[in-house]
């Protein structure tokens, strides 16, 4: 007698499944190959994505006496880990991030009772003093949050993705998503629209130690270099105050936020020093019109000198030393791969002096 479930049984159609599978596989391979060929033709190359998971892996590697680099993308691109290791005796952990404020990471390390090592902190004043909720602060806080809450599946996904990212250019997730490509279309903005500037496209690579290196194409004069220069100018130019807040009130609020950052930084430094930790602030090179813009918007005496005086932290300003000030940033904000090595080599003696090593 047939079972009661026999009416629900379905026979698999007699189709050429082996042939269909082959066709599907070949189609996927052909599409992936075509897309990979295209993105390489427009200048992309294989590199790890600078994700919160990659940052969390680096943060997890911090030991009690580690040397740690924190801050913005200048501390990320301009530091050569090999030269720092030779000169400082320890291989640094790279925790600097592109477009990031150093303070949240400084506070995180200062609150880590196990850490009493050395912090080399890159300072771009406009980013370091960005108010709470601003993109540079949010970016750093997001990475710290991932480090604290990262799940096993997320760690496994990161490890599985790295071998593919190291060989396939089209996996550059920040630039080659549908949304990112649509955002980059040359469509004029509406009149009076306050549209945030686009971040620069691919111009550097990242390895498993989170070392960032400028690609050769960006280090040479050309369209890519010029495009990135202009994007830096837009990114570093502050937007106008919102029209729904009186200008005087807006400026007072910005002043309060800046003062709060001073106070919080002093507290973080004191926590670190109480455990025997050390810290040095570094102003990495900046060039061209971007330097002129930064000097005008954030004068050295206004923020940098006040930061050193109020925290009593030693500082290294690239312009103070001929051997450091002779470097030029191709796209105005970061050193080329080759120059980052030489700059790091020349910076080490100043770090040793500042840190009393």
Q: What are the per-10-residue average pLDDT scores of the chain (357 residues)?
A: 57 80 94 91 90 96 97 96 96 96 97 96 95 94 96 93 92 79 71 66 93 95 93 88 80 89 97 96 97 94 94 97 96 96 97 94
- Count Cβ atoms below 10 Å from residue 12 Cβ, excluding itself: 6
Residue in the structure block whose two tokens are 């912090």: 119
Q: Provide long-range contacts, Cβ within 8 A and 24+ apart, for 229-234.
A: 229/288, 229/289, 229/290, 229/331, 229/332, 231/197, 231/198, 231/199, 231/200, 232/200, 232/290, 232/331, 232/332, 232/333, 233/289, 233/290, 233/293, 234/197
The answer to whether the beta carbons of residues 99 and 73 sit under 8 Å apart is yes
User: Residue 262's pLDDT is what?
Assistant: 96
User: Residue 42's pLDDT is what?
Assistant: 86
The answer to whether the beta carbons of residues 325 and 319 sit under 8 Å apart is yes
User: Residue 201's pLDDT is what?
Assistant: 81
User: Residue 6's pLDDT is what?
Assistant: 53
Q: Which residues of 42-54 are buried (b: 16+ CB within 10 A; e: fewer)?
A: ebbebbbbbbbbb
* Residue 23 tokens, joined: 């066709």
Phi, psi of 201 (to 5 degrees): -75, -170
- Count Cβ atoms below 10 Å from residue 133 Cβ, excluding itself: 9
Q: Note if the pTM is more than 0.85.
A: yes
For the chain, how are helix, strand and coil distributed in percent, rounded to 5? Answer: 55, 5, 40
User: Residue 193's pLDDT is what?
Assistant: 60
Rounded Cα–Cα distance for residues 109 and 69 (Å) = 11
Which residues, in sequence order, are CB contacts of 350 under 8 Å at separation 6+? Answer: 316, 321, 324
User: Residue 251's pLDDT is what?
Assistant: 83
The neighbouring-strand residues paired with 118 are: 67, 278
Rounded Cα–Cα distance for residues 126 and 102 (Å) = 11
* Domain covering 62-131+204-355 assigned CATH 3.30.1330.30 in the classification: no
User: Residue 287's pLDDT is what?
Assistant: 96
Residue in the structure block whose two tokens are 């009186």: 246
User: Residue 4's pLDDT is what?
Assistant: 52
Rounded Cα–Cα distance for residues 14 and 166 (Å) = 42
SS3 298: coil
């Amino acid at each position: 007698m047939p079972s009661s479930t026999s009416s629900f049984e379905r026979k698999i159609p007699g189709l050429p499944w082996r042939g269909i599978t082959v066709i599907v596989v070949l189609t996927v391979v052909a599409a992936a190959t075509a897309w990979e060929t295209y993105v390489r033709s427009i200048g992309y190359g294989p590199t790890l994505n600078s994700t919160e998971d990659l940052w969390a892996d680096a943060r997890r590697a911090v030991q009690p006496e580690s040397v740690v680099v924190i801050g913005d993308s200048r501390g990320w691109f301009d530091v050569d880990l090999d030269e720092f290791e030779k000169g400082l005796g320890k291989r640094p952990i790279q925790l600097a991030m592109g477009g990031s404020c150093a303070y949240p990471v400084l506070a995180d390390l200062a609150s880590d009772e196990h850490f009493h090592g050395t912090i080399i902190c890159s300072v771009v004043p406009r980013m370091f003093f960005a108010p709470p909720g601003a993109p540079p602060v949010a970016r750093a806080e997001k990475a710290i949050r991932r480090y604290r809450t990262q799940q096993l599946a997320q760690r496994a996904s990161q490890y599985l993705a790295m071998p593919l990212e190291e060989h396939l250019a089209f996996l550059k997730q920040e630039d080659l998503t549908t949304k990112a490509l649509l955002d980059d279309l040359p469509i004029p903005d509406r009149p009076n629209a306050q549209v945030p500037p686009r971040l620069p496209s691919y111009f550097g690579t990242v390895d498993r130690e989170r070392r960032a290196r400028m690609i050769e194409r960006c280090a040479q004069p050309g369209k890519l270099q010029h495009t990135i220069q202009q994007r830096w100018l837009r990114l570093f130019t502050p937007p106008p105050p919102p029209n729904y807040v009186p200008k005087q009130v807006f400026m007072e609020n910005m002043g309060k936020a800046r003062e709060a950052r001073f106070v919080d930084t002093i507290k973080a430094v004191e926590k670190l020093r109480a455990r025997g930790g050390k810290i040095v602030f570094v102003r990495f090179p900046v060039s061209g019109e971007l330097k002129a813009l930064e000097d005008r918007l954030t004068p050295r005496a206004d923020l940098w000198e006040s930061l050193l005086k109020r925290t009593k932290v030693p500082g290294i300003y690239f312009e103070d030393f001929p051997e450091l000030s002779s470097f030029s940033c191709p796209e105005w904000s970061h050193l080329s791969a080759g120059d980052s090595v030489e700059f790091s080599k020349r910076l080490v003696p100043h770090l040793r002096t500042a840190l009393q090593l």
